[in-house]
Structure 1
Amino acid sequence: MGDDPTDPQPDPGFDDAGVPTFESVRERIEQRFGTSIGAHELDSETPEGRSLEKQFEDRQRAAADRLEQIRASMRKDEH
């Protein structure tokens, strides 16, 4: 084996048994997390993304209003 350049070099992200190292797994998770955050930020800057956020907020507000109506009607029924 020695210094033959045709010998495959071990991947530094894996141990001798082929198991990923903690460091390589952590780096991959951090990279995916960063990509996810960036994609979310880009999505929220598009007209479509803003429209979806507004729809979500409107639905949340409507749900909260409806829940309050139900609670108010239940309080009336108790008296």
Structure 2
Amino acid sequence: MTTPGGPEYIDAEIVEAVSSPDFTPTVHAPSAAEVTGYTDSGVPTFDFVRDKIEHRTATADGGQFLAESGQEAAAIDEAMAARDDAAKRKLDEIRKSMGL
């Protein structure tokens, strides 16, 4: 805003500087138990044991799935081979009937 013949004035509020609170991030270093899965006295932690059991269960489930899918795949391969043989015999029969 300007006044006639005078200096330019800005309509603003003066604010005092406010010091910001301390926002120092806290750094959490992992303990030996978190890194190794064992306490200082050599006892495994609950999380370590749970993870180990879950891993073994998943491995067993995966092995069973692969074994079952292998049997299914073998059955499908046998069925496809039987179908191909039947198709080949039928084609030979058609050719013979046509005199080729």
Instruction: Give the TM-score, by structure 2 length.
Output: 0.37
Larger helix share, 1 or 2: 1
